Structure 1
């Protein structure tokens, strides 16, 4: 896959993330190894194709409630390669990035992850525009937030990272009362796992690479695609990590209101005239305030909004139901089948 990136900065000049333009080497639009599948009657699967084989692994099943108040979600098997190969995060690369100034670490890691996804055998990138954005912890908390990329856009946030690594593969995403959930594709590792111990050491040294998330608009939530062990290490050491959130984006045109623009300019011109006349009720307006107002009124850069794509399948709904039934039976949760079947 050909990948072209450019840095994105907020209006305040802070690094926000990367904009990625992805194209297949042959110009075709093939589905990636890790992809969403959309079936009959609102049935969804996340499927991972195995390199060099015709076999595939289901990473999760999901189905929307008929009243659109939420999603029933069921995690699949853990045994699947990560989208980011382990060699991408060897000790030399981790140490090299840990030596960077704090402000340069996430920009550096974003390039590492982008390149790994472009070349990896289990990537979820498909042709088009993607954004890989930084989500940092708020000081002293386990709440995470991005800076708004544009003044016209809200920030992204995450509040339930402490609860993300669930043993239970079954989860209900409550769209009515819930927040953006963080969903794990792997169960937590044993606390004596050697790799986990190493990541705990990196967490204590404040050298932990970010955890990679994929925002899926069909779930209105985030999926951990790389970094389950890193997040577990951060939780055990009580050291909030940073996240890099990937989402498939589309550009929505912004059309400023000419009448509002004219009114703002007229207001500033009138204010300047009154200042020149030394009217007592007039005080100078700060430059930052003027700039913020003018940018908000005249900024016509397109918004980068999320939109996840899936591949339609002709597989019958009965096959999806059989797979869910078998998975629930395997984990001893057959009583939940009625909730998945109801639609």
Structure 2
């Protein structure tokens, strides 16, 4: 069925199974990552009511408070985040240039092997398709668009859910380097040579935005050169255990609709459509969502609750008066 996406070509690693997700025409969409035996990860979201803490290797990375009534998020970003992706040498970029599929397999290995990764048990998608790539107006340059999608502010700032409803901005986990930064200059050269490695994003539903896991300088280079940055987006999807049951439900609904239209045709004649025109595309959309749609990000209860969150906030922001935390 056209448009359907399905995983093929499984690759096994300790604790994780990787499967390529393709359309029925063979177009590569991303990697399905089925992770087992990994509970709370070393990069995770901890919650105490509306107060969130993103922690990496027990270091606070981002403090956040969801504003009532769900208008946005006040945040404080520390300097504690460290990318789990090792520096990408130019010869590696040259070898993998033009192939997001090959880059995805490499990043999947880093996600699986390296400390500080957000992967935990369940099913994930590492995809080359992101809604961020669909919203740029034709009259807006890539530099203007991607600059506008970056959440500003360091160390503190605000994710405005009201003004940017469903636009799912990009929140850097450290300050973005300027166009004159040595790493940015090196990546700008790779942009011009067509070999820029992708930016790795993590969709976090509790913040309603993407966090940059790796590629701050690469994104800055793409903006400086006004090109669309190559992206790989990581997010949770429907778990493997639930997937088969939900597919069965979707196919059952499709078959029910065809049977219903068949009964109507038996009564009223061939002028009644057979139902496939409406039920078929609906099934394709359901299967697409089951394989690729974002599922809410897991958050673990913060030990010590709100009191511990406030103590952490006080230690991180002492003397700054942030939210009088």
Normalization by structure 1: what TM-score?
0.72
Q: Which residue of 2 aligns with 1:45?
A: 53
What is the CA–CA distance in structure 1 between the aligned matches of 2:32 and 2:284, rounded to whole Å? 22
Query: 1:310 offset after TM fit, Å?
Result: 2.1
Q: Which runs of 4+ in 1 moved over 6 A?
A: 266-270, 289-292
Kept after mapping to 1: 8 A contact 2:179/2:221: no
Q: Secondary structure at the match of 1:306?
A: coil
Out of 30, 33, 44, which is 2:42 matched to? Answer: 33
What is the CA–CA distance in structure 2 between the aligned matches of 1:165 and 1:273, rounded to whole Å? 56
Out of 201, 207, 215, which is 1:227 matched to? Answer: 215
Query: 1:321 offset after TM fit, Å?
Result: 2.0
What is the CA–CA distance in structure 1 between the aligned matches of 2:32 and 2:190, rounded to whole Å? 28
Q: Give CA-to-partner distance per residue, 1:130-156, whole Å, 9 cap, x none.
A: 11111364586567xxxxxxxxxxxxx
Structure 1's 241 and 181: CA in aligned 2 closer, same or farther, altered over 3 A? same
Q: Secondary structure at the match of 1:303?
A: helix
Q: Give CA-to-partner distance per residue, 1:3-59, whole Å, 9 cap, x none.
A: 2111112456532211111124xxxx43222111123x332111111xxxxxx3211
Query: 1:329 offset after TM fit, Å?
Result: 4.8
Q: Which residue of 2 aligns with 1:64?
A: 66
Out of 176, 193, 208, which is 1:188 matched to? Answer: 176
What is the CA–CA distance in structure 2 between the aligned matches of 1:323 and 1:59, rounded to whole Å? 11
Q: Which residue of 2 aligns with 1:111?
A: 105
- Kindly report which structure 2 residues correspond to 1:314-325, keeping only aligned pairs within 5 A, or say none: 314-325=303-314
Q: Which residue of 1 aligns with 2:258?
A: 261
Give the unaligned 5+ runs of structure 1: 50-55, 144-158, 275-288
Structure 1's 134 and 298: CA in aligned 2 closer, same or farther, altered over 3 A? closer
Aligned residue-pair number: 291
Q: Which residue of 1 aligns with 2:86?
A: 85
Normalization by structure 2: what TM-score?
0.76
Q: Which residue of 2 aligns with 1:172?
A: 158
Bigger-Rg structure (1/2)? 1
Q: Secondary structure at the match of 1:135?
A: coil
Q: Which residue of 1 aligns with 2:8?
A: none
Q: Which residue of 2 aligns with 1:155?
A: none
Q: Which residue of 2 aligns with 1:121?
A: 115
RMSD: 3.4
Kept after mapping to 2: 8 A contact 1:85/1:120: no
In the alignment, does 2:31 pair up with 1:18?
Answer: yes
Give the unaligned 5+ runs of structure 2: 1-13
Structure 1's 328 and 230: CA in aligned 2 closer, same or farther, altered over 3 A? same
Query: 1:267 offset after TM fit, Å?
Result: 8.3
